[in-house]
């Protein structure tokens, strides 16, 4: 045998391989991503190795992981065939949800076109928004199916983002006449009075996450015009007193910081033709010690009432940086130890 030559391993020792073929090379390039970053993402998250061979992808790894990777790649390719793009969030959604988007059911009306084929999509002016976990999917469906919906869970699970996306979708389709977004302006370690400027300047930093979400879904000039025309309102919870909110999509964010009286006041603003969404995180209550959270009270008092839905999220539904989920789990574990 010549020096340097290698004897191929027996067939039984060769790595197991699954081949997946994709007929359109242009779509295959998009599937792989720039510098094969999409393949690298799947490799890292699923625990396989993926090699390109012409118009085929060879997947190496354990049997269950190979099958999962093949399903993910096929689903993403089919997504490209419909004219959509493939981004990191789409890969994450396929890994989390797999084939769980079947049997969604349909209702009348163009607002629920998103349920065709079992998929859940929210159309806005700037982007198409799709749930990335089963809990998010159930939440989005409940926002369309119920006049009052609660989304409860930790930060980073998309509670507010998805609610605002559904509000924008319903507004541009003409199902509501305006969008109203609100938050309690509760001090979380900072003193509101010491902030510079007038009342709007003092309150706007508390409202910034709502502005950020809207900017994701509407062009800047259109958003500014709608705010100027009061078609979109962003205001502290205290400003809701005495109003009746009709034909509107209304979101109360950070509801864990509303008192019981504030929560009752807000819930009773619901008018004809309106939808209301309440979002909050029970682990981040900033109310003074001894003041009960209106979100906790509403949860215990309103469960079981027809037309009101409660959707819950956990650290498994966090769609921010993976470290956020790890941080939430660590704090939850510490809290459980204290209580135990």
Q: What pLDDT score does 105 carry?
A: 40
Q: What pLDDT score does 107 carry?
A: 37
Q: What pLDDT score does 242 carry?
A: 83
Summarize the confidence of residues 215-243 as an average pLDDT: 91
Residue from 143, 109, 141 nearest 274 by CA: 143
Q: What pLDDT score does 90 carry?
A: 84
Summarize the confidence of residues 21-39 as an average pLDDT: 91
* Partners of residue 293 on adjacent β-strands: 259
The confidence band for 236, taking pLDDT boundaries of 50, 70 and 90, is confident
Residue from 236, 139, 61, 23 nearest 130 by CA: 139
Query: Is the pLDDT score of 178 beyond 50?
Result: yes
Summarize the confidence of residues 130-144 as an average pLDDT: 92
Q: What percent of the chain has pLDDT over 90?
A: 45
Q: Could you give the angle at the alpha carbon of 195 between the alpha carbons of 193 and 201, nearest 5°?
A: 105
Query: Is the pLDDT score of 1 beyond 80?
Result: no
Most confidently predicted of 11-25, 146-160, 205-219, 233-247: 146-160
Q: What pLDDT score does 10 carry?
A: 55
Element (H, E) at 251: strand 248-252
The pTM of this model reads 0.75
Q: What pLDDT score does 189 carry?
A: 40
Distance CA 150, CA 142 (A): 9
Query: Is the pLDDT score of 64 beyond 80?
Result: yes
Distance CA 328, CA 83 (A): 36
Q: What pLDDT score does 324 carry?
A: 74
Question: Which domains are delineated in the chain?
Answer: 14-97 (3.30.1370.10), 110-339 (3.40.50.300)
Dump pLDDT digits (tens) for 73-130: 999 999 899 888 888 888 888 888 765 554 444 333 444 444 444 568 899 999 889 8
Q: What pLDDT score does 57 carry?
A: 92
Dump pLDDT digits (tens) for 284-339: 888 888 899 999 999 999 988 998 999 999 988 887 767 777 787 787 788 777 77
Q: What pLDDT score does 229 carry?
A: 94
Sign of the torsion formed by the C-alpha atoms of 17, 20, 25 and 26: negative
The strand ranges marked E within the chain are 17-21, 49-53, 56-60, 122-123, 128-129, 148-152, 178-183, 232-236, 248-252, 275-280, 308-312
> Backbone phi, then psi, for 332, in 5-degree steps?
-60, -40
């Amino acid at each position: 045998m010549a020096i340097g030559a290698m004897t191929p391993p027996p067939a039984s020792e060769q790595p197991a391989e699954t081949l997946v073929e994709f007929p359109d090379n242009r779509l295959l390039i998009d599937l792989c991503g720039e510098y094969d970053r999409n393949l690298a993402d799947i490799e890292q998250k699923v625990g396989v190795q993926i090699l390109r061979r012409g118009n085929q992808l060879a997947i190496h790894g354990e049997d269950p992981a190979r099958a999962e990777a093949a399903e993910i790649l096929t689903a993403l390719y089919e997504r490209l065939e419909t004219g959509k793009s493939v981004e990191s969030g789409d890969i994450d959604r396929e890994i989390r949800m797999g084939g769980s988007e079947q049997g969604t059911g349909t209702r009348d009306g163009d607002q629920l076109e998103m349920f065709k084929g079992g998929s859940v999509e929210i159309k806005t002016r700037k982007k198409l928004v799709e749930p990335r976990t089963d809990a998010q999917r159930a939440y989005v469906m409940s926002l369309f199916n119920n006049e009052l919906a609660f989304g409860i869970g930790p930060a980073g699970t998309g509670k507010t983002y998805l609610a605002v996306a559904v509000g924008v979708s319903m507004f541009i389709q003409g199902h509501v006449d305006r969008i109203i977004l609100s938050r309690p302006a509760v001090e979380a370690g900072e003193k509101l009075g010491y902030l510079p400027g007038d009342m709007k300047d003092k309150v706007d930093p508390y409202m910034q996450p709502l502005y950020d979400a809207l900017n994701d879904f509407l062009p800047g000039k259109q958003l500014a015009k709608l705010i100027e025309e009061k078609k979109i309102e962003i205001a502290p919870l205290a400003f809701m007193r005495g109003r009746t909110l009709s034909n509107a999509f209304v979101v109360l964010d950070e509801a864990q910081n509303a008192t019981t009286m504030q929560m009752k006041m807000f819930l009773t603003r619901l008018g004809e033709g309106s939808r209301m969404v309440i979002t909050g995180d029970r682990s981040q209550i900033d109310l003074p010690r001894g003041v009960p959270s209106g979100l906790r009270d509403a949860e215990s008092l309103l469960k079981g009432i027809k037309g009101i839905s409660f959707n819950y999220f956990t650290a498994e539904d966090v769609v921010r940086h993976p470290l956020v989920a790890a941080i939430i789990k660590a704090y939850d574990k510490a809290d459980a130890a204290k209580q135990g």
